[in-house]
Structures are given as C-alpha cells and as structure tokens.
Chains A and B, each alone.
Chain A
Amino acid sequence: MLSYFLKRLFSLVPLLLGITFISFLIIHLAPGKPSYLKEMNPRISAEAQERLIRLYQLDKPILVQYIHWLKRVIKLDFGNSFADGRKVIVRIRERLPITLLINALSLFFILLFAFPVGIISSLKPNGVFDKCTTLFVFIGFSLPSFYLALLLMLLFGIKLGCLPISGIVSFNHSQLSSGERILDIAKHLILPVSVATFGGLAGFSRYVRANMIEVLKQDYIRTAYAQGIGRGRIVCKFALKNALLPLITILGLSVPGLLGGSVILESVFAIPGMGRLLYEATLSRDYPLIMGGVVIGAVLTLLGNLIADLCYAWADPRIRYQ
C-alpha cells in the first residue's frame, strides 16, 4: 500500500509539470496584456508601455518566461502580482479563509440534506416524495444564483430587515465583543451559504438516489429481505454502505472546489473570496496570480484524486492496490 502510494505520489510530478506548462502557454498566448497595458489612456505613452513590457519581462520568449517561473515555483515562490506588486501567495492567503469557510459550510449542508433526500427518494423511485424533492432540487439547480441571491437580499435585507445584505462583517464589527463578532459573521454568512447550498443540492442528492436504487436492486439485498431482516437495517446498513462508495470519488473531486469560489456569488454578496480574485486576475492578465491559482487548483485536484483512490481501497475490501 505504501509503495503504491509513493509511486502514485511521484507520478504526480510530471503530471503537474505538464499541467502548468500547458496552462502557462495558453494564458500567455491568449490575447490581451497585463494590468496598466489594458488601460485605454492617452496619457500612457507608447514608450511607457514598452518599458512596462520590459519590466514585466514579457518581451522574452515564452519558454524562457516559463523556465524563470518554474525556477521560482520550485522554491515555492509564486512571484509578485503584476497588478499591485504584492506577493501572489499573500494575495491568495488573504482570500482563502473566507472562501474555505463558505465552501465547507455549504458542502456540509449539502451533504446534510442530500443524504436523507436521496435515500428516501430511492426507496420509492417516482413516488410522491421523490417527485417533489426532484422538482425542488432542480429548481435550486436551474435558478441563476445571482437572481436568487438578489431576491433573498430584497426579502431578508430590505423587506424584513433581519439579515445584512452584503459583505462578511458589519460596519461596527471592530467595536463588538468576540461573541458578537462570531454572531455578526454568522449572520452575514446565512444568505450566501443558503444560496450555495440550494444550488448544489441537486447533484449530490441525485447521486445518492441513483446509487441507492442501483444497490437496492442487487441480489444480496433480495437475500437479506428473504432472510427476514428489517427494512430499516437493510437500507441503512447493507445498501447505504455500498451506495456510498462512488461518492468517495465525487467527494475527492470536490476538494479543489473548496478553495475555488463562485465569482457570481462573491460579486453579488461582495465577499472578498478566491473566485473574485482569480476572475479579476484573469481579466487584468495578472499572469503570476493566475498561475498561482492554477497550481493550487491542479495540486488539489491531483491530491483529491489520490486521496479518493486510497479511501476507496480502504472502504471497499474488493479493491486492493498492488
């Protein structure tokens, strides 16, 4: 097992190199130029623009730029953002906690609701409960999140006035006691987390439902029924356990999603998260920052996959890696 793990871990290195190289190429070949160069301002003379291109070293061949970049990244230095000259790692670090918090919370609530919904629906596929919940989760899936967000803001923020509209802390946050501060943040998180949860319910609940239906058709379930074991025990112990296996992979794949934010939600709720950071970086062609995001995303995806595979082996005795 350990040797398998190590082998997999080492095989990630060339994969990661490939991902970064291709991303670097695509990002640099895409039309457009970084930060100031994108301003349409006659005060920015042609000479000044050329000077900026030289200072950003954009006049060098792409391969040379990539090698420069790689040399720094190996030392875990992602370089400085073009936009404000601050370290990429610092810019990412200040956005990470809030994104992680919101994503972890919404993933938690998604699982909390998706499991019961999926399991109960699977017991009577196409029954009344199944149809109602299907409708409900698909409404969540298909409603544009910004629209739902604005409606909720209007209702809870303005009509009822009980929840804050945007941001993550109140105006007077710094004057509150620590207990009140937590409450303040919690209040600000209710709307964004609800919208994210509602939008994500469909996926998981449908996975659970589909897997459960599949498993409930298996012979060993029939055998269990024939032995006279109670339905509750069959569903929760025999069926659910097996239905959970494919979900490990899906959970593994959602690891990178924890750190990537939704641009739309973050913009509507004015949350300073990763989504907005990387979106703005892309629009302003802030190459070092974009690459920082790419590397983090790639590493997490690969690690998520690896961990999912390992968990799979651990959870399912039929699977053994040699």
Chain B
Amino acid sequence: MSIHVRNVSKSFGDFSALEGVSVDVAGGSLTALLGPSGSGKSTLLRIIAGLETPDLGEIIIAGEDATGVRVQDRNVGFVFQHYAAFKHMTVRDNIAFGLKVRKRPKAEIREKVDELLKLVQLEAFGHRYPAQLSGGQRQRMALARALAPNPEVLLLDEPFGALDARVRAELRDWLRRLHEEVHVTTIFVTHDQAEAMDVASQIVVMNHGRVEQIGDPTQLYDEPASEFVMQFVGEANRLGDRWVRPHELDLSPDPAPGALEAQIERVTRYGFDARIELVTADGSELLVQVTRDRLEELELVAGQIVGVVALNERTFAGR
C-alpha cells in the first residue's frame, strides 16, 4: 500500500513543526524518516497514523484520501518508542487487542496470536505481563500487537530508541528480516543515521520541518543535496566552502609546496579501515579514512605533518 504525503503543514502554537512536506512511499517499501530532534519527523509519522491532524495538505494511503479518516479506521500499525504496552494485560491479550475490538471469532484470534508469538519469538512468554519482560521483548510484543490486525501500513516511532546498543542492533536486523517476510509498507522514525542507513531502502532526511532530501543510502552519502545532509548523513570534512567525505581525502608524507598541511593527532585502526584525525594550521579538524594497506604504505604516525589532497569535493549553494 503506497503512502503519499502532499504539502503537509502543521504548527503547535508558534512552533512550526512541518512546512509543506511532501513524501512518496512505495507500497511494500521500508522507509526511514531521519532527522535531529525537533525536525518534525515524529509529527509527520503521527499525522500519517492519524494521531495528529495536519493544518494543511493531505495524506493518501493506498490511493485513497485518508486525511479525514479517524485513527481507528485507518488500519495502521503503530509502534511507540516507550512500547505503550497495556500493563494490565498479558502478552497474549496485548497482541489480541486489535482483533478483540474488531470482534473476530475466538478461534481465529487464538490462531493469529500463536502465529505472531512465534514470529516475534515470544512463544514462552504469552502469559506474562509486560512488567515481566525486558525492553527488547516488550518492543517485540508491541510489534506483534501492531501487526495483529493486518495493517496496511506499519509505523514505528523511534522503535529502538529506549534500548541498549546490543539489543538495538539485534532488533534492527530482526526488523529488516521481518519486513522481508511480512512485506507491509513500513516507515520508521530515527535520529540515528547509521540505523537509517542500515535498515531502510529509502531515507527521508528532515530538518526544521522540511524535507532536505529523499534517496537511498548510497545517494545520500555520495550525492547529498545540501550541507545539512552532507553533515548529518555520514561524516564530512569542511575545507573552506568545500565539503569532502573522509574517504575522499588522501595524505602525502611530504607535502607539495602550496598544498594544505595538517598535523596528525591520532590514528585508529578499524579492521580493514584506518581513521586519521588531523588538525590544520588554522585549527580546523579533519577526519581521513584510508585502507590499512595505504596507512602502512605511508607509515603515518601521530605528530607528523602531512599534505592533504581532496580527491573529490562538493560545494552547496548558500541557504
């Protein structure tokens, strides 16, 4: 089920949360809304869900105007950052909720809940209460609950934000695999660019209530549309008014006359890669990424003065 957001604006009092936002999401895709806090990404997600009403613009879900449709009739699954588990219900009852309020036959509910418990690997926990689960388990329960009524769209608001790093990475992989299995159109909100790059096939970068760029992870990294995207997605170096990705800089141990010079502060090796932090004469910091082979070839050490050469660089129109 495709989702189209057309020219949506929303303010809360004096604060303009969204300004003329348009986004197209293809049916069955996995999209991330990425941006810093206050960028409007959660508001956009809540407007798609029907939890907020836009001041202007419309939401089209599966070809039909959903702007005026009430939350409960929109058939969206929503996963909250803090799980929003129904504390007085067991895991089974939580998952069954959406089916019970739709008055589905008991046998059907039981079958569907069993299936979902298996899908989220909580078969052994059906009779526990949310308070007896870990954060990751609770979020998986919330996911199963959202999927139970077979939603047309699955929306996740910073779903892994409250979890520790390891569980986070685990759930991330798991979400990607789940999406491959279930194929429901999924949009998730995150402020973590690595998470967005890792999970999503399409990323919508947002800032100050506007869309900065929409593209796949490679596009955003290689062809950022603005300084903001350049900085926010992946790492970036600024050389005057030019911008360079860390892997697009090369170093030479004996700088040519007139070349940019910098002093090496620190060298860190990450498996295949090495990261070199430098400071230029005017005090600005640079990050360079080279292969381990190249590092050994150059025999670089901290304290050394080297020349910096940009292999590729970009400028952005001032805004």
Q: Do A and B interact?
A: no
Residues of B within 8 A of A (CB): none
Residues of A within 8 A of B (CB): none
